[in-house]
A and B are shown apart, each in its own frame.
Chain A
Amino acid sequence: MMKKIVSILLNIKGDFQNLFIFNEYEELTGKSKSGIITLSVILGITFLALGYAIGGINYLKEKMDDPFTNWVNLEIKQSYRDKVTNVQLEMERDSMKSKFMLNNIGQYNIEFLPFVNYMNGEEYNIRLRTLDLEDNLLGEILSSSKGNVVSGYSYNGDGPIDIEQCGIIIKESSLRSLGYEDVESVRRIPIKVENFVVYPEITAVVKELPNLVDFVITPHFYTLLIESFETTNFINISSSNKIEVISPETDKKKLEDDVRKSLKNFSVASTDTREIELVDGEISTIVTLYFNDYFRYSVKDTIVSELKQNSSYVYNRFSPWECNVGTLYNIDDPYYLSFNFDQLDKVRDFKNHMWDRYEVEISMDQVEQKENFALVSNLTNFISLILFGFSILSIVFYVNSLLRTHLEKIKMNLGTLKAFGLNNNFLISSYLKIILTFIGISIAIAYVICGIWDLLESRLFSTSYFDVFNYKILIAIIVIIITALITSQRTISKTLLKTPGDLIYNR
């Protein structure tokens, strides 16, 4: 059956070629198939080495392939804060943009804000960065083609980015560190702003964010969070007879009774409840308490504290807020400028320009990281190439020496076959088919072993640096086969150049 398949695949014609190829194949590979075993081992080692080299490069690339590398940041220090406007004005000029391959200039702040852990209620300060909706970087972060978005909004590059001004884009790992396991199901997360707790919507959960921040918000939302509420009206802090709390309990009747019972110093006039889904499938209840008196917001804190203290249910402050997009705020006094480059070729020139002209030091960390990666990657590629060349040499040497020894052994028989009228083309094509089968079977064995190794490694270790199923290995296989066939053809031809008489009489 196997012979039939090989015959069809190799286009073996006639009884004699069939007989010749299979008999010679048996002879060449040895009785215990030692030839196949040896070649499989050489190929297996080659594939392992190449697999690890390619896997290593891919791993490095994945780690270092920061979609935000084309940005260079400038921290605006007090010493040159006054020069920032000039820098911005100069770099906005088309001539400068083209000189340094600059795309656009942005500004941003980095800040810490307290978030509440979903699991234990503790507060954590996590790092945010502001980002304009028009900034190219936002498109990079949300790009559907770059695979950075885990869930939520992704941007396909058509038209403007259409997201809420007061949503947040948060890193997957940061969300996990806040106690959320199923990050894709999270809809809103609590941020503590002074004594208020707001629950903004998550616009998108992403794998990576620039500047090692945990989440990104618009300058407008940032201003709402940090500026005086009296100015922005983000949270209504005027006196009112209303307060809202949120509880994971879903029995509304019980909650309404509980708040009345728990608040001894404050008389609740009426209550109202509504549902909210902070996480998909998990309903929480917002209880609105109405009083007969009007309270300042500081008193409201006391009310929530008393409720928490006296009740067996879990309550948290739920502060209604307004995004107020009627007036869009921007950052007046940014901490950083960001420069987005089309290509990084001129970054060093840009850095030098900034120093010469403004005595401003630009951080090149990301660019240097990328350059370092390129160096390591090139070195690894070079070493892989040498390794591959060495492997080809070994394989070619082994196959040819096997073939040469065999041909030497049977040259009297070859001479006899030639004397009987067998032509060189027949013999060359037959031996090439034998070599192709020999190498093909060895490659298949080596590849299967490497595949099993790949499977085992991915099961045994959390991080696998081995990658044998990729186009580079396929190219390597093709190169190995072609090289082996070309050199084998030369070896066979060299033997067959001799006349039948010279072969038979060993001249």
Chain B
Amino acid sequence: MQQDLIYDISNLECQYIPGTTVLRIPELQIPKGKLVFVLGVSGIGKSTFIETLGLMNKTIHVTPETSIKFNNGNELEEIKNIWSRDNKALSKFRNDHFSFIFQNTNLMPNFSAGENMCISMLIEGKELAEVKEKVLEVMEKLNLDPDLYDRKIQELSGGQRQRLAFVRAIIAGFNVLFGDEPTGNLDRDTGHKLMRTLKENLAEFNRTGIIVSHDIDLALSFADIILLLSKKGEGDNVHGTFDSQYYLIKEDGEWKRKDGKPLADPLSLVSEILTR
């Protein structure tokens, strides 16, 4: 059972400033090979959630009760103290297990489109010629013109850049892909096309995707699991949290709560949480 999880979290507190908790997750298990959407109002800690799990920020407030277990392919490894490792080891861990798509794409401005798409695999130490073939394959799947490969980033539209960032993310070798509003700059059709490709990729390699989004329609259409983050506390103690009743699973096309109770109208529930 545990080997089917990618993350097994208990008593996670996320803090940017010591003593100020912005997100608290008492209990959360994320199964492997699923596309997980994290929804919630702005400022609730969605980005903090993926920054913490993707080891982008040192936000884990480590207490004896904290446990963040990560499936490294062989076992569930406790990673709550991973930040005490040296930079090289930490970087290697990220490179082995994670991939990212950002809303702002963050493509290197002085690299060509092709070079940008190859970056994740080049960092792994692969050769450019070898990576290029793979990139061109994925570009074809996404109906991206191969001529784009040699174009400069500045010559591309926002949508094209977003798709490049998507290619960069999915060709990497990873276990978990984190996306922060990955389709924010795309029209609905293109966004859906990317999600379909992502789902195929996740399914093919038994990988997990954790996507932060405001797009309820996209989430309900493509997510296997939706995590709804909500506010808790008052005054200075307000922070985001995750309640297991807001863990929604899609099984056989039907949305259910974690305990198996069917949800007749998931859209209403999600909308309600997001407007609360």
Near B by CB (< 8 A), chain A positions 13-35 give 14-16, 19, 23-24, 26-27
Question: Is A423 among interface residues, defined by CB-CB distance under 8 A?
Answer: yes
Enumerate chain A residues within 8 angstroms of B93, measured Cβ to Cβ: 421
Write the nearest CB–CB distance from A404 to chain B, whole angstroms: 17
Q: Does A236 contact B (CB under 8 A)?
A: no
> Known contacts A24-B110, A500-B57: does B91 contact A416 (CB below 8 Å)?
no
Given contacts A420-B100, A423-B87, contact A415 B111 (CB under 8 A): no
Identify which of B96, B102, B109, B126 contacts A504 (C-beta below 8 A). B102
Knowing A23-B111, A416-B106, A421-B94, the reply to whether A15 touches B56 (Cβ < 8 A) is no
Asked whether, in the complex, the Cβ of B56 is within 8 Å of the Cβ of A504, the reply is yes
Interface bits A399-428 vs B (CB < 8 Å: 1, else 0): 000000000001011011111111111000
Check if A63 is an interface residue, CB within 8 A of chain B. Answer: no
A499: chain B residues within 8 A (beta carbon): 56-58
Q: Pick the contact of B94 from A23, A410, A420, A505 — CB < 8 Å?
A: A420
Confirm or deny: A157 has a beta carbon within 8 angstroms of a beta carbon on chain B. no
Is B119 on the interface with A (CB-CB < 8 A)? yes
- Establish whether residues B107 and A418, one from each chain, have CB atoms under 8 Å apart when the complex forms: no
Residues of B within 8 A of A419 (CB): 54, 56, 94, 98, 100
A184 to B90, CA, bound (A): 77
| Chain A residues with CB under 8 A of B98 | 419-421
Q: B96 near A421 (CB under 8 angstroms)? A: yes
Closest to B54 in A: A419
Please report the C-alpha to C-alpha distance between residue A417 and residue B55 in the assembled complex, in whole angstroms.
13
Q: Is residue A389 contacting chain B, with contact meaning CB distance below 8 A?
A: no
- CB-defined interface of B74-106 with A at 8 Å, one 1/0 digit per residue? 000000000000011011111110111010101
A438 to B: closest C-beta gap in Å? 15
Are B56 and A423 in contact (CB-based, < 8 A)?
A: no
Interface of B is mostly: mixed
Instruction: Give the residues in chain A near B123, CB-CB below 8 Å.
Output: 16, 417, 420-422
* Residue A320 at the chain B interface, CB threshold 8 Å: no
Say whether B119 contacts A417, CB under 8 Å: yes
Closest to B104 in A: A412
Bound Cα distance A415, B119 (Å): 13
Contacts of A501 in B (CB 8 A): 51, 56-57, 59
Counting CB contacts under 8 A, is A507 at the interface? yes
Q: Does B122 interact with chain A (Cβ within 8 Å)?
A: yes
Check A410–B109 contact: CB distance below 8 A: yes
A413 touches B88 (CB 8 A): no
Does A275 make an interface contact (CB < 8 A)?
no
Across-interface contacts of B107 in A (CB, < 8 A): 413
* A-B residue pair count with CB separations less than 8 angstroms: 94
B122 nearest in chain A by CB position: A16
Q: How far is the CA of A19 from the CA of B100 in the complex (A)?
A: 21
Q: How far is the CA of A501 from the CA of B124 in the complex (A)?
A: 20
Q: A19-B115, A417-B119, A499-B56 are in contact. Are A410 and B108 (CB under 8 A)?
A: yes
Given contacts A410-B109, A419-B100, A423-B88, contact A23 B56 (CB under 8 A): no
Specify which chain B residues have a CB less than 8 angstroms from the CB of A504 in the assembled complex: 56, 102, 106
- Mark contacts of B133-145 with chain A using CB atoms, 8 A cut-off: 1 yes-contact digit, 0 otherwise: 0000000000000
- Is A502 engaged at the interface, CB distance under 8 Å to the other chain? yes
What secondary structure prevails in chain A residues at the interface with B? Answer: helix
Residue of B nearest to A25 (CB): B110
- Cα-based distance from A23 to B172 in the complex (angstroms): 22
Asked if B122 contacts A415 (CB within 8 A), the reply is no
Q: Which of A26, A413, A420 contacts B120 (CB 8 A)?
A: A420
B57 interface neighbour in A19, A27, A424, A502, Cβ under 8 Å: A502
Shortest Cβ gap from A95 to chain B (Å)? 71
CA distance A499 to B111 in the complex (A): 23
Minimum C-beta distance from B91 to chain A (A): 4
Q: Mark B120-131, 1 if CB is under 8 A from A, else 0.
A: 101111111000
When distances are taken between beta carbons in the complex, the residues of chain B under 8 Å from A24 are 110
Task: List B contacts of A421 (CB < 8 A).
Answer: 91-96, 98, 123-124
Assess the A416–B102 pair: CB atoms within 8 A: yes
Complex Cα distance A507/B55, Å?
16
Residues of A within 8 Å of B95, CB to CB, are: 420-422
Residue of B nearest to A505 (CB): B47
Closest beta carbon of chain A to B135's beta carbon, Å: 13
Bound-state Cα–Cα, A85 to B192, Å? 116
B205 at interface, CB cutoff 8 A = no
Q: Once the chains bind, are B110 and A23 in contact (CB under 8 Å)?
A: yes
In the assembled complex, the CB of B86 is this many whole angstroms from the nearest CB of chain A, namely: 9
- Closest-CB distance, B20 to chain A (whole angstroms): 14
| Minimal Cβ-Cβ distance residue in A for B51 | A501
| Residues A422 and B128 in contact in the complex (CB < 8 Å), given A23-B115, A27-B110, A416-B106 | no
Asked whether B111 lies within 8 Å of A19 as measured between CB atoms, the reply is: yes
Complex interface: chain B residues within 8 A of A15 (CB): 122, 126-128
CA distance A507 to B56 in the complex (A): 12
Contacts A419-B94, A505-B47: A412 and B57 contacting too (C-beta < 8 A)? no
Which residues of chain A come closer than 8 Å to B120, judged between CB atoms?
420
Contact B115 A27 (CB under 8 A): no
Shortest Cβ gap from A501 to chain B (Å): 3
Q: How far is the CA of A421 from the CA of B58 in the complex (A)?
A: 15
Q: A416-B106, A420-B123 are in contact. Are A425 and B87 (CB under 8 A)?
A: yes
Q: Name 5 A/B residue pairs within 8 A (Cβ), A-sorted.
A: A16-B125, A420-B99, A420-B100, A421-B123, A422-B91
What are the 3 tightest A-B residue pairs by CB atom distance, in nearest-first order?
A: A421-B95, A501-B57, A423-B91
Using A15-B122, A16-B123 as known contacts, list a sample of 16 further A-B pairs with CB atoms less than 8 Å apart, ordered by residue number in A.
A14-B122, A16-B119, A19-B128, A410-B109, A413-B107, A419-B56, A420-B100, A420-B172, A421-B95, A422-B91, A422-B95, A423-B87, A423-B90, A501-B56, A502-B57, A505-B47
